[in-house]
């Protein structure tokens, strides 16, 4: 009695009744506490170590925690011997480390191994360092423990290192520390001069000399990041905000030094150092906000870069990095392996999932001799591939080169801050120069005295508010989006995103999940699903996997199943596969389907599938429209599949069968029409279009090339993050404009006062600090919930 309703319930798509006790993925009712044997094993391992507290401590379960096998990498070779080989050290990149409890679990689980001396995981860099006593061969076992807990591991690569160990950021932090020290101590002396009106001349001079002693080295050393950037811009024949900062700070210091020597009433060392400290703080925060996004991207790339198995002529095999393989080499491609290099199939037939390279949602059989694209995944049996192009000349490298070119083109994009600087900097400097000349030649003051109002003008125009106006908004907006799972990589991404007016969307893997799901069918005979799933369990074909996933009861894989490539599976008289393979008459199915026949006498049963739309796709598209973007669908898939998706999402403009070049051409066409396209895509076939678009985004689970090409990676929330990002970007843009406008207005008031010589150092300090506060407070408004 119970079996029938349970099955009906399970066959309805997306029934989430219970959650897996380990990874939190939905579990079919009655299937136990865990979604898979991997999670069950992970939970057993954790409770065996006495670390169950992990489940209480962690901040929400993530589906990322489902254990997957170790990547095919020689971990032992990556171990570094310490102390004459008595100890070994291994550095791993651990994905899925999201909270303190994960760090605790990984460290404790490794520490429980008797030979492990030290295990330390960094939550920011996702880096795990293990040191153990004994042979290097243990590396694989230790990495295996982390993998069995549900964390995906990969050797720590150069890309990870670049993202994590940012020498420039360290230099900025050091400069900030120095500037903060200088500013606070100089301010202490300056306040004494300001309030000590009854101070003797000798004491005041002592204070000025002390301030100069502190400020001079601080200004010279801590200002280096600005001087370097200004010098680079000047050599390229451009003007940037750092030039105004450098000139302002250096001129102020020089003038203060001359005032100290002349025993003048005021010096301005406090202003120079405080300005540096404030601007450096903005820089450090800005960098830290984007470092997280860069690291997340490097992490994804590290997980995808694997080694290949090369076959020598004598039949032996060895593993090596894909970049070392030369054309003509023969590679063994295991089941489930992703092709790293272009090549041809040597013999037999191969079943490849090319969703990432062409956008086709269903895998295709490739005959011997046909070119196999790098990036495709082997779904059939292992086969031998002959390499036709080395990694540096292959199709993936060509896409990478395209991305680099597009990256350079984007580097030339002039942000609103730089556009403001281009007008502002020459004007500010001209005003200062005119002030100096006016007082010196016009009024006939000594040049040292004429320099004071000129430098005062430089200080008040020194764009503290202006230089911090845009970075402050950026930090707040990027941070708010990071918390919502949207990674922002490029500094100008938000600005470009805010201006987009057309959204061009890919279908497979972007609007859809990219994994087919079984459609419910009340007419299906009882037991057929279980019987078909038992056959399907031995195949990696996406439809077979969907069948197994839809089966409410645990599936026991049937033995002795023969896979006929491109047709189906059979065991004795049982058959599961295409209509022709099962002797059924195809009724012209709309979507992909599988047929099952228990024996020659019984009637074939059909299983229909659909690549389901992401649950939030419809809402996201409606919101994009509401934000004023025109929406187009551009896919490499078949017209029928694209038409179905377009119809169910209410998109009128769609194109199917688009090659990567077609997609890029469409983006170019839109740009030529003066529109600013936003491209959303996930595949290698989208990478060119992503790079060419005015702004671009990739959903979670995209290929590494697409993520590298995109400005935004939507990690947590799926598609609904995109409209939220656009709203945040537009708010950020508005706040940046307000900040710039405010800074300019304040200059209109302050500059005449400075030119006329009314501005004292105290007044300059107050005005500078207050304008920065206003700008920062305004920026904070951007971060409020999207």
Partner 1 sequence: MNALALLVPLALGLGLLALLFFAWTLRDGQYEDPDGAAARILFDDNQETPPCPTSDSR
Nearer to partner 1, 217 or 328 (CB): 217
- Residue by residue, what is the 3-state secondary structure of 603-654? CCEEEEEECCECCCHHHHHHHHHHCCCEEEEECCCCHHHHHHHHHHHCCCEE
Query: Taking the complex as a whole, how short is the minimal distance between the CB of residue 540 and partner 1, in angstroms?
Result: 37
Nearer to partner 1, 114 or 522 (CB): 114
Query: Taking the complex as a whole, how short is the minimal distance between the CB of residue 51 and partner 1, in angstroms?
Result: 6
Nearer to partner 1, 164 or 450 (CB): 164
Residue 60 as a binder of partner 1 (CB under 8 A): the answer is no
Site for partner 1 in 172-231 (CB under 8 A): 173-174, 177-178, 181, 184-185, 188-189, 203, 206, 210, 214
Distance CA 177, CA 467 (A): 20
Q: Which of 50, 313, 522, 559 binds partner 1 (CB under 8 A)?
A: 50
| 13, 184, 526, 736 from 552: Cα distances, Å | 12, 67, 12, 54
Residue 15 as a binder of partner 1 (CB under 8 A): the answer is no
As beta bridge partners, residue 132 has 88, 116
Query: Taking the complex as a whole, how short is the minimal distance between the CB of residue 158 and partner 1, in angstroms?
Result: 18
Residue 170 as a binder of partner 1 (CB under 8 A): the answer is yes
* Contacting residues for 533 by C-beta, under 8 A, at least 6 apart: 547, 548, 550, 551, 555
Torsion of CA 178, 181, 186, 187, to 10 degrees: 130
Nearer to partner 1, 196 or 446 (CB): 196
Q: Which of 8, 17, 44, 123 binds partner 1 (CB under 8 A)?
A: 123
Closest by CA position to 463, among listed 706, 282, 196, 285: 282
Q: Which of 62, 108, 400, 738 binds partner 1 (CB under 8 A)?
A: 108
DSSP state string for 702-719: --HHHHHH-SEEE-SSGG
Q: Which of 21, 57, 320, 438 binds partner 1 (CB under 8 A)?
A: 57
Nearer to partner 1, 21 or 254 (CB): 21
Q: Which of 64, 82, 104, 335 binds partner 1 (CB under 8 A)?
A: 104
Residue 745 as a binder of partner 1 (CB under 8 A): the answer is no
Site for partner 1 in 625-684 (CB under 8 A): none
Residue 52 as a binder of partner 1 (CB under 8 A): the answer is yes
Q: Which stretch binds partner 1 (CB under 8 A): 116-124, 464-472, 721-729, 755-763?
A: 116-124
Q: Which two tokens stand for residue 684?
A: 């290698």
Nearer to partner 1, 100 or 615 (CB): 100
Out of 242, 506, 611, 686, pick the active-site residue: 506
CB 459 within 8 A of CB 245: no
How much of the chain is helix, strand and coil, in % rounded to 5?
A: 50, 15, 30
Site string for partner 1, 461-480 (x = CB under 8 A): --------------------
Q: Which of 103, 251, 478, 725 binds partner 1 (CB under 8 A)?
A: 103
DSSP state string for 107-168: HHHHHTSTTEEEEEEETTTTEEEEEEES-TTHHHHHHHHHHHHT-EEEE--HHHHHHH--HH
Q: Which of 25, 45, 51, 767 binds partner 1 (CB under 8 A)?
A: 51
Q: Which stretch binds partner 1 (CB under 8 A): 169-177, 232-240, 598-606, 690-698?
A: 169-177
Q: Which stretch binds partner 1 (CB under 8 A): 93-101, 273-281, 321-329, 751-759?
A: 93-101
Which secondary structure element, helix H or strand E, spans residue 771, and what is its range?
A: helix 761-780
DSSP symbol at 113: S
As beta bridge partners, residue 654 has 633
Q: Which stretch binds partner 1 (CB under 8 A): 69-77, 107-115, 130-138, 511-519?
A: 107-115
DSSP symbol at 672: H
CB 689 within 8 A of CB 671: no
Residue 606's region, left for phi above 0, alpha for psi from -120 to 50, else beta, is: beta
Q: Which of 3, 53, 441, 564 binds partner 1 (CB under 8 A)?
A: 53
Q: Which two tokens stand for residue 326?
A: 């030369």
- How many residues of this chain interact with partner 1, rule: CB under 8 A? 34
CB 487 within 8 A of CB 293: yes
Residue 326's region, left for phi above 0, alpha for psi from -120 to 50, else beta, is: beta
Q: Among this protein's residues, is 506 annotated catalytic?
A: yes
Query: Taking the complex as a whole, how short is the minimal distance between the CB of residue 146 and partner 1, in angstroms?
Result: 16
* Contacting residues for 343 by C-beta, under 8 A, at least 6 apart: 331, 371, 372, 374, 385, 386, 387, 388, 389
Nearer to partner 1, 53 or 773 (CB): 53
| 440, 466, 746, 770 from 742: Cα distances, Å | 32, 9, 6, 12
Site for partner 1 in 148-167 (CB under 8 A): 164
Distance CA 589, CA 321 (A): 44
Query: Taking the complex as a whole, how short is the minimal distance between the CB of residue 280 and partner 1, in angstroms?
Result: 13
Nearer to partner 1, 52 or 652 (CB): 52
Catalytic residue positions, numbered: 506
Binding site for partner 1 (CB under 8 A): 50-53, 56-57, 99-101, 103-104, 107-108, 111, 121-125, 164, 170, 173-174, 177-178, 181, 184-185, 188-189, 203, 206, 210, 214
């Amino acid at each position: 009695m119970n079996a029938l309703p349970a099955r009906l319930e399970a066959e309805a798509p997306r029934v989430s009744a219970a959650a897996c006790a380990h990874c939190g993925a939905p579990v079919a009712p009655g299937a136990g506490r865990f979604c898979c044997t991997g999670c069950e094993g992970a939970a057993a391992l954790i409770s065996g170590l006495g670390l169950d507290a992990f489940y209480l401590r962690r901040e929400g379960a993530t589906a990322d925690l489902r254990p997957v096998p170790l990547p095919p990498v020689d971990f032992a070779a990556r171990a570094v011997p310490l102390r004459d080989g008595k100890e070994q050290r291994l550095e791993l990149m651990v994905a899925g480390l999201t909270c303190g409890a994960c760090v605790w679990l990984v460290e404790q689980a490794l520490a429980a191994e008797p030979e492990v001396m030290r295990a330390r995981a960094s939550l920011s860099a996702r880096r795990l360092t293990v040191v153990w006593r004994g042979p290097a061969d243990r590396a694989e076992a230790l990495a295996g423990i982390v993998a069995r807990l549900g964390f995906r591991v990969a050797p720590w690569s150069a890309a990870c290192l670049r993202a994590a160990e940012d020498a420039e950021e360290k230099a900025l932090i050091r400069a900030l520390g120095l500037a903060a020290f200088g500013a606070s101590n100089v301010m202490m002396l300056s306040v004494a001069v300001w309030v000590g009106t009854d101070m003797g001349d000798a004491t005041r001079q002592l204070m000025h000399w002390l301030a100069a002693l502190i400020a001079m080295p601080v200004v010279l050393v801590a200002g280096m990041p600005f001087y370097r950037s200004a010098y680079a811009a000047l050599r390229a024949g451009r003007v940037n905000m750092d030039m105004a900062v450098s000139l302002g700070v250096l001129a102020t210091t020089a003038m203060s030094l001359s005032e100290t020597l002349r025993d003048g009433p005021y010096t301005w060392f406090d202003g120079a150092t405080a300005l540096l400290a404030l601007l450096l703080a903005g820089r450090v925060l800005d960098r830290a906000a984007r470092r997280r996004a860069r690291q997340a991207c490097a992490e994804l790339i590290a997980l995808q870069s694997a080694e290949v198995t090369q076959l020598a002529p004598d039949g032996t095999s060895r593993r090596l990095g894909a970049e070392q393989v030369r054309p003509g080499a023969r590679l063994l491609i295991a089941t489930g392996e992703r092709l790293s290099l272009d090549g041809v199939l040597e013999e037999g037939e191969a079943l490849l999932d090319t969703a990432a390279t062409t956008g086709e949602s269903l895998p295709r059989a490739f005959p011997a001799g046909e070119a196999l694209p790098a990036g495709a995944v082997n779904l059939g049996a292992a086969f031998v591939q002959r390499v036709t192009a080395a990694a540096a000349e292959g199709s993936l490298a060509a896409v990478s080169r395209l991305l680099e070119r597009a990256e350079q083109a984007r580097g030339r994009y002039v942000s609103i801050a730089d556009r403001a600087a281009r007008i502002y900097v020459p004007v500010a400097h001209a005003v200062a120069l005119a002030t100096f000349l006016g007082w010196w030649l016009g009024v006939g003051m000594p040049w040292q005295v004429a320099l004071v109002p000129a430098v005062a003008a430089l200080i008040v125009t020194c764009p503290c508010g202006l230089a911090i106006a845009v970075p402050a908004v950026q930090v707040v907006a990027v941070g708010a989006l990071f918390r919502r799972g949207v990674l922002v990589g490029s500094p100008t991404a938000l600005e470009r995103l805010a201006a987009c007016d057309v959204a061009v969307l890919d279908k497979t893997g972007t609007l859809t999940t990219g994994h087919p799901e079984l459609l419910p069918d009340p007419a299906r005979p009882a037991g057929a699903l279980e019987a078909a799933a038992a056959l399907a369990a031995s195949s990696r074909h996406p439809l077979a996997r969907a069948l197994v996933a839809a089966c409410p009861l645990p599936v026991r894989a049937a033995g002795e199943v023969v896979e006929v490539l491109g047709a189906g599976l059979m065991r004795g008289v049982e058959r599961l596969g295409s209509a022709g393979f099962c002797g059924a008459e195809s009724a012209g199915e709309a979507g992909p389907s599988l047929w099952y026949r228990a024996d020659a006498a019984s009637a074939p049963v059909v299983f229909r599938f659909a690549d389901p739309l992401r649950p939030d796709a419809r809402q996201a598209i409606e919101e994009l429209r509401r934000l004023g973007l025109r929406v187009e669908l551009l896919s490499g898939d078949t017209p029928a599949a694209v038409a179905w998706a377009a119809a169910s999402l209410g998109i009128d403009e769609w194109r199917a069968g688009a090659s990567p070049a077609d997609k890029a051409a469409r983006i170019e066409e839109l740009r030529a029409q003066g529109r600013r396209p936003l491209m959303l895509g996930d595949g290698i076939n989208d990478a060119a279009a992503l790079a060419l678009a005015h702004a671009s985004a990739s959903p979670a689970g995209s290929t590494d090339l697409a993520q590298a090409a995109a400005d935004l990676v939507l990690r947590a929330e799926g598609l609904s993050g995109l409209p939220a990002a656009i709203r945040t970007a537009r708010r950020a843009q508005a706040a940046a404009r307000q900040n710039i406008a405010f800074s300019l207005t304040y200059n209109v008031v302050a500059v005449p006062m400075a030119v006329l010589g009314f501005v004292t150092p105290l007044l300059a300090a107050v005005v500078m600090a207050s304008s920065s506060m206003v700008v920062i407070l305004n920026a904070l408004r951007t971060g409020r919930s999207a």
